[in-house]
Amino acid sequence: MTVLLIGNSLTAGNLGIPYSRYLNFPDDSTSEHRLINRGRDGDTLSGVGNRLEAALKADNPDVLIIQTGANDILLPEMASRGGLWTPFVREMEKRGSIPTTEPREFSEIYTEMIGRAVSHVVDIRRIICVTIPPIGEVLHSERNRKREVYNREIRRVIEETGAKLADVSNAFENILEKIKNPSDWFFGSPGDFTADVKEVRRGKGAMGLSEERGLYLTIDGAHLNERGAELMGKVISSAIAMETVPRRVR
């Protein structure tokens, strides 16, 4: 079984811990499992959509996992801050990672993207869409209010198309809402990304960074530590395991 992951930095796994490390596949001794990771740091829904068809043609997956949406919220916020974020956002948009401007546009692009994927993946139930996990661990923040709107669109698209849901958002919220005084720590500049990569790989480690900042599931409010990556991997693995459609004969 070939599983294609496409999405943003949470899929790429360069910042923090990759959830793909914790993916488990249904026990099937007759089939080998091949995981293809086409995550891209900073990518948006439009960016993922622009890359999707070429990836499907090249990889011919049995299962497609789509994880995107957070940067449609974050990039406009970064652009409004100015400073070092201005060239960062400009570079993202130059390569095609352009954020949507409103929920309706987000929904339309998502629906169209799934429609194109159906022609390459044998069954709509083999397309798994991941909700956007919390952006910052304070759930009542403005970012997370916007995220809830976009997640409603994702769930609506899934209901209308028949694709499958991996509700990472719900799983994360169930944990974070039990924390009495969640940390509002959130990355502040592009330089934080570079510094955190070094710390995760050769310094404090992901959990060390989280502990220092008072965070529980992430290292910086957005990118995952081991605890967050394991939870996200578990939710997506459950969606994969629910797949009961016979495998395609190549």
Average pLDDT value for residue range 103-128: 93
Average pLDDT value for residue range 72-99: 98
* Three-class SS state of 30: coil
pLDDT in tens, 193-218: 999 999 999 889 999 999 999 999 99
In a domain, 122, yes or no: yes
Average pLDDT value for residue range 162-176: 98
40-228-163 Cα angle (round to 5)? 60
pLDDT recorded at residue 33 = 85
Decide if 110 contacts 153 (C-beta within 8 A): yes
The 10 Å Cβ neighbour count of residue 135 is: 23
Bridge partner list, 37: 5
Percentage of residues in the chain with pLDDT exceeding 70? 94
pLDDT recorded at residue 25 = 82
pLDDT recorded at residue 238 = 96
Question: Rg of the chain's alpha carbons, rounded to an integer?
Answer: 17
Band (32; pLDDT cuts 50, 70, 90):
confident
In a domain, 220, yes or no: no
Structure tokens at 38: 């086409």
Decide if 44 contacts 79 (C-beta within 8 A): no
Give the range among 111-115, 136-140, 177-181, 242-246 with minimum mean pLDDT. Answer: 242-246
Give the range among 21-25, 37-41, 178-182, 220-224 with minimum mean pLDDT. Answer: 21-25
Average pLDDT value for residue range 5-24: 97
In a domain, 198, yes or no: no
Band (31; pLDDT cuts 50, 70, 90):
low
Domain that holds residue 11: 2-180+229-241
In the chain, how many domains are there? 1
DSSP string, 224-238: B-HHHHHHHHHHHHH
Average pLDDT value for residue range 124-146: 97
Q: Report the CATH number at residue 56.
A: 3.40.50.1110
pLDDT at 248 over 60: no
pTM: 0.94
In a domain, 150, yes or no: yes
- More confident call, 116 vs 121: 116
In a domain, 222, yes or no: no
pLDDT at 247 over 80: no
C-alpha of 81 from chain center: 23
Average pLDDT of the chain is 94
> How are the residues of the chain apportioned to helix, strand and coil, as percentages rounded to the nearest 5?
50, 10, 35
In a domain, 189, yes or no: no
pLDDT recorded at residue 55 = 97
Give the whole-angstrom CA distance, residue 191 versus residue 182: 24
Structure tokens at 151: 């997640």
The H-or-E segment that residue 103 falls in is helix 103-118
Average pLDDT value for residue range 226-234: 98
In a domain, 123, yes or no: yes
